[in-house]
Amino acid sequence: MTSVGRGAQDAHRKPVTAARLYDYYLGGIHNFPADREVGKALLERTPMLRTIARDNRAFLARAVRYLTSAGVHQFLDLGSGIPTEGNVHEIAQAAVPDARVVYVDIDPDAVSESLELLEGNPYATAIRANVREPRAVLDHPQVRTLLDFDKPVAVLMVAVLHFVEDSDEVCDIVARFRSALAPGSHLVIAHATIDELVFDERLWEKTQQDYRRQTSTALVPRRKSDVARFFDGFELIEPGLVWLNTWRPDPDMVDEFKDKPERSSFYVGVGRLSSSGPS
């Protein structure tokens, strides 16, 4: 067997990850045959996944542009995934050349691809860490070197919290990051939901089962009231906690969910920390 053949076999056996599935939905090239196989199966059950992924990426861009205009020039992107079009550092540094960005992901492929992209950029880096271990993230030497937590920092939790099964644990995770932030810091959340979905809920449950069985992470959609809890201690920026494409849409944005925004199946919001928040 040639070395190329062995590499192809290894790639096919490599566990499917959320980062590479997301890359596949976005039309990226940093995914393996196993990722594409699972991705296609999930798309058959839930065809809007590709549109949702793209719209989620567009929301992230709008949120980052808003934050730079609001004077926030430091970003901690948790569950950042594999680099693709419209990365946080590209958007932020287009407005503020010395804006600082730390990408955090548990997937080593996502981190290595990010580091390759960021080579020569002194204001951005990527680390491998788990969002479920806030202290390890916050105490990481590269995080402490690049970000000044005495000044406002934007913590981005975009399409990551629904991979943590326990809602109480999610609240604790957010609270631990919040406790490290200075007034004027922001929290950005995009979270999958099952509220008011127009397709068969049993089909969504089957998608969840497939995701759990075929990837290394579970997928846990939550209702709006659950997602709202994660903003405790933050003041929600207008228009509040809303459907994916209804948060400050661009005038020329193409919105396939315009008539039925609930089909986006994501709640999103941006919150501002006006004080140290609850202890």
Tens-digit pLDDT string for the chain (279 aa): 223 333 333 444 567 877 788 788 788 777 889 888 888 887 787 778 888 889 999 999 999 999 999 999 999 999 998 888 789 999 999 999 999 999 999 989 899 999 999 999 999 999 999 999 999 999 999 999 999 999 999 999 999 999 898 989 999 999 999 999 999 999 999 999 977 654 455 655 666 566 565 555 677 889 999 999 999 999 999 999 999 999 999 988 888 888 989 888 899 999 999 865 554
Per-residue pLDDT reduced to its tens digit, 172-224: 999 999 999 999 999 999 999 977 654 455 655 666 566 565 555 677 889 99
Q: Which residues contact 258 (CB under 8 A, 6 or more apart)?
A: 245
Task: Output the DSSP codes for 154-179.
Answer: EEEEES-GGG---HHHHHHHHHHHHH
Selection from 132, 130, 137 nearest residue 107 by Cα: 130
- Please report whether residue 175 resides in a domain: yes
When divided into structural domains, the chain yields a total of 1
- Please report whether residue 22 resides in a domain: no
CA distances in angstroms from 172 to 135, 192, 217, listed in the order given: 12, 19, 19
CA distance linking residue 258 with residue 264, whole number of Å: 9
Per-residue pLDDT reduced to its tens digit, 12-23: 456 787 778 878
> Which range marks the domain in which residue 100 is found?
49-198+218-272
- Please report whether residue 63 resides in a domain: yes
Is the Cβ–Cβ distance between 242 and 227 less than 8 Å?
A: no
Read off the CATH number of the domain in which 223 is found: 3.40.50.150
Do the bridges between strand 266-272 and strand 242-243 make them parallel or antiparallel, or are there none, so unpaired? Answer: antiparallel
